Amino acid sequence: MKTLLRQSAATTILSLALITSPTFAQEQSDADTNDDDFHRTGEIVVTAPYFERLDLLAGTSALSGEDLAQQSRGQIGDTLLSLPGVSATSFTPGSSRPVLRGFQGNRVAVLTDGIGNIDASNTSADHAVTIESLTTERIEVLRGPAVLLFGGQAVGGAVNAIDKRIPRAVPEEVVHVDALVGYGSAADEWSGGASVDVPLTDRFVIHADGSYRKSDDLRIGGYQLSPDLRDEIFDLADEEESEGHLDEADELREAANNRGRVPNSAVETWTAGLGTAFIDDGGNLGVSFNIYDTKYGIPGRPGVGHHHEEAVSAGEKVSMAEGDEGAVTIGLRQYRADLRGEVETGGGFLEKLTFRAGYADYQHTEFEGDEVGTVFKSQGFEGRAEAVQANRNGWRGASGIQYMSRDFEAIGAEAFVPPNRTRQLGLFTLQEFDLGGVHLEAALRYDRVSQEAQTLGIDRSFNNVSAALGAAYLVGNLKIGINASRTGRAPSVEELFSDGPHIATQAYEIGDPTLRSEKAWNAELYARYDSTNVDATLTVYSNWFDGFIYEDATGAEEYDLPVFQYFQSDARFWGVEADVSARLGHVGGFDVVLDGVADYTRASISNGGGPVPRIPPLRLLGGLELQSGSVDLRGEVEWTDDQRRNAAFETETAGFTLVNASASWRPFGRNRNIALIASANNLFDVTARRAASFTKDYVPLSGRDFRLTARFSF
């Protein structure tokens, strides 16, 4: 049987060489995925390609087990906020992408089990990420040379969500069940997700999972609008009143005085998935199918009409008061099929061959009241195949090929990009050398990207070579390391071909089809200390860009919207991250643990371009935790500074302080198969706004939120 699997899988890999991807080398047991409470840094057990235990040369971090259960939110960006260097776009409760070291959009790769998410979340900030954390086993934030395995464009890093939809191991139980249910008071949110794995034989497993999440309009701690926007709306109301538009003036004043809730911010999401896998000593082969369906509101910005509410076409204007068409909602559905396989070679230079592929049919409709506004359609495919080398005296590595295709179309009044087609072919290698006290990594990648706008008759092709080197030196419990890379990113179709009103960004956007590839030189220096009682990491990084692509206001207006055009210039990012956890002692049956996170990013466009917009400010997060076998008690404070270093078209963002508390109870002690978690977030009900968000002035963060979560695994 082992020989048969090797032969059949090898044939499959050869036939799928251009359409396949990495598998993850090791199925982690419950003990693996439930990291020890105290150890928050140090060696990271990464469910990534190639190596069963990979101590990456970068500030890699992860959420799993109870931590993931407690932090789980409807969008992956909001789920990862406790990790160092991570912020979120927080456009609405229904759409939020991760922001890594100030980078967002196409500069951050969002992956599902090692390949692209194949949705439209990177085309606009109001588009949801089609990942549900309720059925996700682990989420990793990857940085350093290994990120080149997933694309040269991910200068900020990669976020990899790992599920069990294609089983990696045969469960020992007759039926294995994982479940997570929860309630959140701030939006009257009810959520639940479960997965079931059934071994039909000692080699064949079937899997099913599903989730449901429903929330009402978000409750907030104060006024919906920021002070600057309230003043603007009051002035506009006075102007409307002076012109005799009394109803419009009353509507604007009502909007300016709204507090306590964010109107039209409700979310309803469900998912369903099926998978199966054949698992043998010589390898494995599995497939899965899943559906992601969500409907969520897009809060309107007073003063320029509801977000997405004004149909804009030739001769029409965007209303400067609240529109009459009704609340704007997005209805989204994605159908996705995946394939993953691995075959052991039986010895020699190569240890195994792996492949991974996914296809998705995506569509979302933006409704203006009951009427259809704009429809976005995307059909995408991504595949990877790779050869993993056997460990030879500390030298190991992997090399492979990646292919991606996407056909995208927007139909309707806000089709700000023409129908387009993207094709990408990548070749990559990652090599690791363990020389005892010195650890080295080297990565090399070539990408060819083709972007075609069929209706415009424009076809651009880009060739980029990216390379990275990393080195670390271990002295006792201290590891000191450096990473350096040069990356190339092809412009996105939005940066090349946009030409139309984009109400998500409150702008009329104009692309530049002559843009060249964006090149970046990146350096990172870190120190990591790992001992019995103290884990700590300090990282300093810098990025220099040649041809950084950004939007800037031109001073013109189209359809009552400011015109923003894409430009290129040199730019510089730099920042610092720190993460520490220290065991202070043992009191009354509890270990006392102090932990903290700090991060800061500063980014500027050269030649007088000013600050890069939407950069998170300095953040400090500290917690004190009492840990025992069955009960954990935690209190934490998150302080975020003002962001006064803004682009010319941005408003300042006020700082805030959030106080949170939580308690976890494991009825069966350290066996975490059952855990009950109670948490209270933003205890003092402060109004907080995220600087990285397009909608910060009218979509603040949640007010006081009491949450109950139950996690089961049996």
Q: What is the pLDDT of residue 672?
A: 67
The answer to whether residue 317 scores a pLDDT higher than 80 is no
Candidate from 141-155, 429-443, 485-499, 543-557 with smallest mean pLDDT: 141-155
* Buried/exposed 311-340: b ≥16 CB within 10 Å, e otherwise: bbeeeeebbbbbbebebbbbbbebebebbb
Tens of pLDDT, residues 87-134: 999 999 999 999 999 999 999 999 999 999 999 998 899 999 999 999
Confirm if 397 and 431 have CB atoms less than 8 A apart.
yes
Identity of the amino acid at 535: D
The answer to whether residue 28 scores a pLDDT higher than 50 is no
Alpha-helical runs (H) found in 140-281: 227-242, 246-256
Rounded to whole angstroms, the Cα distance separating 383 from 118 reads 11
DSSP conformation class of 200? S
Structure tokens at 66: 């109870």
Confirm if 160 and 140 have CB atoms less than 8 A apart.
yes
Looking at domain 2-224+263-713, does it have CATH number 2.40.50.100? Answer: no
Looking at the DSSP assignment, which residues form a beta bridge with residue 403?
383, 425
Q: How many residues does the chain have?
A: 714
Rounded to whole angstroms, the Cα distance separating 689 from 144 reads 30
Tens of pLDDT, residues 162-213: 999 999 999 999 999 999 999 999 999 999 999 999 999 999 999 999 999 9
| CA proximity to 264, closest of 294, 300, 211, 228 | 300
Confirm if 21 and 48 have CB atoms less than 8 A apart.
no
Vertex 10: Cα angle to 23 and 56 (nearest 5): 25
The answer to whether residue 39 scores a pLDDT higher than 80 is no
Confirm if 166 and 197 have CB atoms less than 8 A apart.
no
Tens of pLDDT, residues 617-649: 999 999 999 999 899 999 999 999 999 999 999
Pairing of strands 619-627, 631-640: antiparallel
Tens of pLDDT, residues 542-596: 999 999 999 999 999 988 889 999 999 999 999 999 999 999 999 999 999 999 9
Q: What is the pLDDT of residue 690?
A: 97
| CA proximity to 405, closest of 355, 449, 466 | 449
Q: What is the pLDDT of residue 56?
A: 52
Confirm if 72 and 708 have CB atoms less than 8 A apart.
no
The answer to whether residue 37 scores a pLDDT higher than 50 is no
Question: What are the residue ranges spanned by the domains of the chain?
Answer: 2-224+263-713
Coil vs helix vs strand at 207: strand
Rounded to whole angstroms, the Cα distance separating 479 from 450 reads 41
The answer to whether residue 310 scores a pLDDT higher than 70 is no
HEC string of 691-714 equals: CCCCCCCCCCCCCCEEEEEEEEEC
Rounded to whole angstroms, the Cα distance separating 215 from 217 reads 7
Looking at the DSSP assignment, which residues form a beta bridge with residue 115?
112
Pairing of strands 157-163, 108-112: parallel
Q: What are phi and psi of 254, to 5 degrees?
A: -65, -40
Q: What is the pLDDT of residue 307?
A: 38
Structure tokens at 285: 């082969």
DSSP one-letter string for 19-80: S--PPPS----HHHHS--SS--SSS-----SS-SS---SS--EEEEHHHHHHH--SSHHHHT
Beta strand extents in 114-203 (DSSP E only): 115-116, 136-142, 157-163, 176-184, 189-199
DSSP one-letter string for 519-564: EEEEEEEEEEEE-SSEEEEEEEEEEEEEEEEEEEEEEEEETTEEEE
Indicate yes or no: pTM above 0.95: no
